Amino acid sequence: MNDSQMIDKVLAGDTNSFEMMIIKYQRKLYATVINIVKDADLAQDIVQEAFMKSFEKLDTLRNKNQFYPWLKRIAINCAFLTFEKNKRMVDVFSKNSDDEDKGDDFFDRITDGATPEEDLLNDELKKYVRNFVDALPAKLRVVIILREVEDMSYEEIAEILEIPVGTVRSRLFNARQYIKQRLIKQGFVNEMSKVS
């Protein structure tokens, strides 16, 4: 049964169908939220809140086949509202996610060293990049997380954040420039290096 069919059943009063949707998307949604808040309990609360809000507003969903992107937008908004409300800095890149398809960690793609010394230097570089991303303003941080960690397209990010694609590109550029400038200050890259 596809999402549209399940939504029709939920709107007709079958709450078991919504439970099936929770089971279908809970882990995937949790993986996204934990990358933003890096607190397992808080991430679970936000996922639950997102499901509750989606259930309450399910009748407002225009395209029933777009349930997950809509749910993800709700969860991301909840995560950033919570993040801003609590005003605490967190490491946005968690390795303790239970996501089934972990793939490559963004920081593992930075570079691999051929020698133990290079590996040590690369580990240090990854630590600095994580800290620099954490220090980004929320508007820049969310774009770089969605692009580099969640591997979303510019169009998907624009849709979720409800901003133009040009704004996504601009914020991503600014985030990368911020990180590059901090890496230059730390001596990891020179001014001619490309950071992407």
The CATH number of residue 176's host domain is: 1.10.10.10
Do 112 and 37 share a structural domain?
no
* Residues ≥6 apart with Cβ < 8 Å to 140: 171, 172, 174, 175, 178
* Chain segment 17-49, per-residue pLDDT in tens: 999 999 999 999 998 888 777 789 999 999 999
188 pLDDT exceeds 80? no
The dihedrals phi and psi of 98, each to the nearest 5 degrees, come to -95, 15
Q: Is 93 part of a structural domain of the chain?
A: no
**Average pLDDT of span 179-195:** 72
16 pLDDT exceeds 50? yes
Residue 114 domain boundaries: 106-186
* Chain segment 151-173, per-residue pLDDT in tens: 889 998 898 888 999 999 999 99
8 Å CB contact between 94 and 35: yes
Do 29 and 68 share a structural domain?
yes
d(CA 127, CA 186): 12
pLDDT, position 132: 82
Q: What burial class does residue 91 get, using C-beta atoms within 10 Å of its C-beta: 0-12 exposed, 13-18 middle, 19+ buried?
A: middle
pLDDT, position 113: 54
Q: Is 159 part of a structural domain of the chain?
A: yes
**Average pLDDT of span 183-187:** 80
8 Å CB contact between 158 and 165: yes
pLDDT, position 150: 81
Number of structural domains the chain divides into: 2
* Chain segment 65-123, per-residue pLDDT in tens: 889 989 998 998 888 787 666 644 344 444 444 444 444 455 554 555 566 666 666 66
- The torsion of the CA quartet 103, 106, 110, 113, rounded to 10 degrees, works out to -50
Do 119 and 79 share a structural domain?
no
The CATH number of residue 18's host domain is: 1.10.1740.10
8 Å CB contact between 145 and 75: no
pLDDT, position 21: 94
Percent of the chain with pLDDT over 70: 73
**Average pLDDT of span 137-156:** 86
d(CA 67, CA 44): 19
pLDDT, position 37: 79
